[in-house]
Amino acid sequence: MAFVPPARHLLRAKDLADARYFEPLDVDDLAHAAGLSRAYFSREFRRAFGEPPHAYLLTRRLERAAALLRTTDRSVAEICFAVGLKSVGSFTTSFTRTFGASPTAYRATFPPASAHALVPACVVRAYGRPQVRTFREDVAAAPA
Amino acid sequence: MIKLNSAQVWVHDQEEALAFYTAKLGMEVRADVTLPELGDFRWLAVGPAGQPDVAIVLMAIPGPPVMDAETAEQVKTLMAKGFAGTIFLGTDDVYTDVEALKSRGVQFVEEPEERPYGIDSSFRDPSGNHIRLTQVREIAAV
């Protein structure tokens, strides 16, 4: 059995956020995927990837929501639930703060889906994920 | 005329990588040579069955004198964080292949997703390398 670098366990948690963001995941689930206690996990995740795990999970959800706004005609509420968020109100607040426009206004600024032709999904997911401006509303929404 | 022969990825354990790329991904061993005169350097290459002239070299991260210990540690960490590179694989039936890979224990990070350029999915090798599996759509010449 090969020695596994510690960061590989953190990557499992990051991959879980990327793979199952649409489920009711929280930081405890991510810590569990890494096999670490929640507090230690949060510190180590931040050290490895430069942002805390709940911020990564939230911005993954917002990135997916932005992609769905650009490329589908589903309603804002439907998209909120489709990316694993539970409150349309805090989704709209987080989205607006992060992207500088409400979900509806954001959608209106983009050309139709066909214009997004050849860029690989991994590029969309990696480069489209916003940086958190603040995540107060996420903390409020998350279980204590 | 320049052709692609092989490209290299770092792996943290060659045996584990070999098992993954052959038993799970179904690739063939193209080369497996260990050279005692080079400090037991092992040249290990695998490739897809349908493409005999293309290979992926599974390279162990070397120690000194090739790579100083600090650099080796940085490469190991980058790889474990998933930022050491990507292999883009293609298929003509992504849903069938994804099911087959899952049945052999491969965990997908991105389930197959319809994109304008095709149906795209992703997973990782044991070292953390990002591997994509894409069924590219026929697109009219631009």
Q: What pLDDT score does B139 carry?
A: 64
When pLDDT is averaged across residues B19-39 and rounded to a whole number, the result is 93
Domain ranges (residues) in chain B: 6-136
Q: How confident is the model at residue B37 (pLDDT cuts 50, 70, 90)?
A: confident
SS3 state of residue A3: coil
Q: What pLDDT score does A143 carry?
A: 46
Nearest alpha-carbon partner for B133 in A122, A19, A68, A119: A122
Joined together, the tokens standing for residue A144 give: 């204590």
Residue B133 contacts by C-beta under 8 Å, 6 or more apart in sequence? Answer: B89, B90, B91, B94, B97, B98, B101, B120, B121, B122, B123
Q: How far is CA A84 from the centre of its chain?
A: 9
List, for residues B119-135, the tens digit of each pLDDT value: 999 999 999 999 999 99
Can you tell me the ipTM of this complex? Answer: 0.78
Cis peptide before B65 (omega within 30 of 0): yes
Q: Does B113 touch chain A (CB under 8 A)?
A: yes
Q: How confident is the model at residue A120 (pLDDT cuts 50, 70, 90)?
A: confident
For residue B139, the chain A residues in CB contact (below 8 A) are 117-118
User: How far is the C-alpha of B34 from the C-alpha of B61, rounded, in Å?
Assistant: 15
Mutate to test the interface with A, among B115, B125, B129 (most CBs of A within 10 A): B115
Joined together, the tokens standing for residue B95 give: 């849903």
Minimal CA separation from B47 to chain A, in Å: 23
Joined together, the tokens standing for residue B140 give: 């009219």
What is the model's pTM?
Answer: 0.79
For residue A7, the chain B residues in CB contact (below 8 A) are 77, 80-81, 128
Q: How far is CA A121 from the centre of its chain?
A: 15
List, for residues A62-95, the tens digit of each pLDDT value: 999 999 998 888 899 999 999 999 999 999 999 9
Joined together, the tokens standing for residue A35 give: 């096999």
Q: Does B109 touch chain A (CB under 8 A)?
A: yes
List, for residues B63-95, the tens digit of each pLDDT value: 888 899 999 999 999 999 999 999 999 999 999
Cβ-defined contact of A7 to B109 (cutoff 8 Å): no
Q: Quickly tell me which residue has 């999904």 as its tokens.
A: A121
Dihedral sign, Cα of residue A99, residue A15, residue B7, residue B27: negative
Minimal CA separation from A136 to chain B, in Å: 27
Cβ-defined contact of A19 to B132 (cutoff 8 Å): no
Domain ranges (residues) in chain A: 7-138
CA angle A79, A80, A86 (to 5 degrees): 150
Q: What pLDDT score does B129 carry?
A: 96
**pLDDT exceeds cutoff 90 at A39:** yes
Q: How confident is the model at residue B13 (pLDDT cuts 50, 70, 90)?
A: very high
Neighbours of A73 (CB within 10 A): 10
Q: What pLDDT score does A71 carry?
A: 82
Kindly state which CATH superfamily the domain B6-136 is placed in.
Answer: 2,3-Dihydroxybiphenyl 1,2-Dioxygenase, domain 1 (3.10.180.10)
Which residue type sits at A22? Answer: F
**pLDDT exceeds cutoff 60 at A138:** no
Joined together, the tokens standing for residue A138 give: 């996420």
Nearest alpha-carbon partner for A14 in A129, A134, A141: A129
User: How far is the C-alpha of A85 from the C-alpha of A87, rounded, in Å?
Assistant: 6
For residue B115, the chain A residues in CB contact (below 8 A) are 120-121
Please give the share of chain A, as a percent, with pLDDT higher than 90.
66
**pLDDT exceeds cutoff 60 at B27:** yes
* Topology, domain A7-138: Arc Repressor Mutant, subunit A (1.10.10)
- DSSP secondary structure, B51-108, as one string: -TT-EEEEEEPP-TTTS-HHHHHHHHHHHHTT-S-EEEEE-S-HHHHHHHHHHTTPPE
Which residue of B82, B86, B116 is in closest CB contact with A116?
B116
